[in-house]
Structure 1
Amino acid sequence: MMGGGPDTPSKQSSGDKQLVLCTLPFPEEKAAKSIDALKEEFKDVEVEYFYTQHENGKIKPLEIPRELLARASYQATLFWLPENAEALPNVNLIQFFSAGTNHVAQHPIYTDSKIPLCSANGVHGPQIAEWVIMMELVHSHHFPKLYDLQKGKTWSQKAGMDVRDRVGKRVGILGYGSIGRQVARVANAMGMDVLAYTASPRKSPETKRDHGYIVPGTGDPDGSFPSAWYSGTSKEELHEFLKQEIDLLVIAVPLTKTTTHFLSTDEFKLLHASNPRGTYVANIARGQIIDQPALVEALHTGLISGAALDVTDPEPLPADNPLWTAPNVLITPHISGSTDVYAERAFEVLRENMRRQRGGKKLVNEVDRDRGY
């Protein structure tokens, strides 16, 4: 499906412009600057934009004329797809504006076609790393207690005295992708020791490199921050990593069959045995990676010192779910990836993949359907 170069005719007639079909969850005006940049670089494209409105993860119905789908050379989307691949006979690739594609893993385009699917992995690192570090500092500096005192107009120094700063503490990053690498950069700057965990071994300099999209000036492009690397997909290999006296555990792995309930009671017990002071768990991946009832129990029994969760199981989290009232938990509604430059960064990934597709080069962030990411 890859072309030979910028001037190679498309599957449409050579006189037609190639269509970039955008089905995205923000108004077109928010993407106007990026669309202009795309048209400026690729003189032979036109853009059709559809605002896929949604609320708390539920999409409102969207109808797109079949003739537009049939003409599309590229689709940029977050979650909307046509019913099957036959509706996109001319598409070269589908660029998702999300870090993962597990939300469409059962869709016929995913399961029954060979259309290249690319994620926006790499655009989330800066803002999610800020969320992780913010939550960890809020916890270690007892800010929730102090804020409650402020609201009650109460001056009590004792409530904020037992602070453990981050220098010399250890962060274990479960999933050393673009998000994990930016967490590592910030944590390292704070004086923390960094441990990385990946599904496959990373023993050579080349395998430690980040080959995905990188926001300039961020991340860990050459994999230099971790003092040690751990790897594997089995519970035994995960347990070896969890035994390393981890102060902050950052969950940043994709959701797959292997990682579903990757952390449960046994894992929380290991964390406590290795670090009786308490491990703080931050999950910015997917809620199902943690066995949620086991997490609630671990919070109540003190197996971990606390948890910061931007994802839950299910979402939205029902009002009567016991996770809401568990001790030392901070919950946000799946917003850690939000930033005012999200559209700009994601369109940069699309443009890079259009360059690569037209030049016959390997796409960035192409999803391996067998691995699930």
Structure 2
Amino acid sequence: MREILKSSTGGTNTDLAENVLVTLSQKEPPEGYSRLVKKFPNCTFNFYALEEWDGLWHFGIPDDSPRLSELLRQATVLLVDWTLPNIEQVPNLKIVQLSISGFDRVVKQPLYTDTGITFCTSNGIYSTKIAEHVFLTLLSIRNSFDQLLSQQHSRIWDDIAYPRPKDLSGTTIGILGYGSIGRQVARIASGLGMKIHAYTASPRPTPASRADRGYILPGTGDRNGQLPDAWFSGTDKPSLHTFLSGVDVLVCSLPLTDLTRHMLSTAEFEILGRRKAYVVNVSRGGIIDHDALTKALKAGLLAGASLDVTEPEPLPTDSELWTMRDVVITPHISGTGRGYVARVVDLLEANLERLSAGESMFNVVKRGRGY
């Protein structure tokens, strides 16, 4: 472990008095940290630098530092990724602010399952980069960009061989999970002239029910839910199939839960095949039955697939998906970009402000739903 400690100083007029511990795998406190320290003078802030992230799916903050043990014991608010402490390490903890948006990595950890601690995700901070990735890969497949790039590398100018695809204007994009990512995808799709169909688990019959009450980056997304041309909802297969039947491009941006695991399988790909749709998955690999997807692609039912996430990860080297035409596979990097740690700090600041005002915090995980 490497430790860098900062204590709170400075001031504004807030009565919030919490012991906030920020743990991140970087050597120095993140951008915006000093602003927090000054803004909440009655809070105690500490930063602890964990070792650099060295692998997937690691759990548990090791109890190998007396200083870290004491910081954890004192903490009432903890900023962390998904490397959670054990329950006995944090006897005073009330709130966990995660630096990740996908809660499936946390949902079965004891600190969540066996306590009443409030958990907040970082939904909203990754939406812009992930939406860019959706259209980067979708447009690459539709416009045979691999062929064009190959011709360039071979110094070939051949406009005759170009397949001349149709543009996206007038096509229908179905967004499976209309959260912060889905809403930013819709914003871009609207600019491309696409029709937008949104799918949510619960009905959204009124303007108020369609509003996004989570954390939103300024100038992004669809805060009031005004972009979709049609809304669909449900947790049953008939509702899902009705939604899929009108889709030309399907974007998966919903959380992975027991209800959504393998939500897309043989029957769903057959329905999507009626319009020879494209499938883009930027949520979790477990949403898709990859054996069924492979068969659908081999049978020519789908026009293509973009998979930033797979099941398992990494995708096995013997998977047929690696070499399939019109399939783009990326190593779970759609949300990776510079400046995201600063955005996490901005979100923590917003939640501390709301906590101080007695308001509901952003992105509180609803127990029982798992997101």
- Report the TM-score when normalising by structure 2: 0.91
> Would you identify which runs of 4 or more consecutive aligned residues in structure 1 move more than 6 Å?
none
CA distance in 2, matches of 1:231, 1:309: 24
CA distance in 2, matches of 1:98, 1:159: 44
Determine the structure 2 residue equivalent to 1:15.
none
Gaps of 5+ in 2: 1-12
Contact 1:99 1:121 in 2 (8 A): yes
Higher relative contact order (CA 8 A, sep 6+): 1
Correspondence 1:88 to 2:83: no
Determine the structure 1 residue equivalent to 2:192.
190
Instruction: From 98, 101, 112, give the equivalent of 1:99.
Output: 101
Q: Secondary structure in 2 aligned to 1:32?
A: coil
Contact 1:100 1:119 in 2 (8 A): yes
Correspondence 1:77 to 2:76: no
CA distance in 1, matches of 2:27, 2:185: 31
Structure 1 residues 150, 69: CA separation in 2 closer, same or farther (over 3 Å shift)?
same
Contact 1:97 1:120 in 2 (8 A): yes
Contact 1:53 1:59 in 2 (8 A): no
The correspondence of residues 331-350 of structure 1 with structure 2, limited to 5 A, is 331-350=329-348
Contact 1:110 1:369 in 2 (8 A): no
Determine the structure 2 residue equivalent to 1:220.
222
- AA partner of residue 46 (structure 2): V
Q: Secondary structure in 2 aligned to 1:230?
A: strand
- Give 1:82 shift: 0.9
CA RMSD of the aligned region, Å?
1.7
Determine the structure 1 residue equivalent to 2:286.
288
- Give 1:32 shift: 3.1
- AA partner of residue 226 (structure 1): P
Q: Secondary structure in 1 aligned to 2:349?
A: helix
- AA partner of residue 181 (structure 2): I
Q: Size of the alignment, in residue pairs?
A: 354
Q: Percent identity?
A: 42
CA distance in 2, matches of 1:301, 1:158: 27
- Give 1:369 shift: 2.1
Determine the structure 2 residue equivalent to 1:269.
270
Is the deviation greater in 253-262 or in 293-302?
293-302
CA distance in 2, matches of 1:232, 1:28: 45
Gaps of 5+ in 1: 11-17
Determine the structure 1 residue equivalent to 2:4.
none
- Report the TM-score when normalising by structure 1: 0.91
Task: Write out per-residue CA displacement over residues 236-291 of structure 1, whole angstroms, 9 at most, x where no aligned residue.
Answer: 110010111x2210000100111000000110100112x1xx21111000000000
CA distance in 2, matches of 1:219, 1:168: 21
Contact 2:207 2:224 in 1 (8 A): yes
Task: Write out per-residue CA displacement over residues 99-120 of structure 1, whole angstroms, 9 at most, x where no aligned residue.
Answer: 1211021111111100000000
- AA partner of residue 57 (structure 1): L
CA distance in 2, matches of 1:150, 1:71: 59
Structure 1 residues 359, 88: CA separation in 2 closer, same or farther (over 3 Å shift)?
farther
CA distance in 2, matches of 1:218, 1:52: 33
CA distance in 1, matches of 2:359, 2:27: 30
Task: Write out per-residue CA displacement over residues 306-326 of structure 1, whole angstroms, 9 at most, x where no aligned residue.
Answer: 111110001122222222123
Determine the structure 1 residue equivalent to 2:7.
none
Contact 2:177 2:198 in 1 (8 A): yes
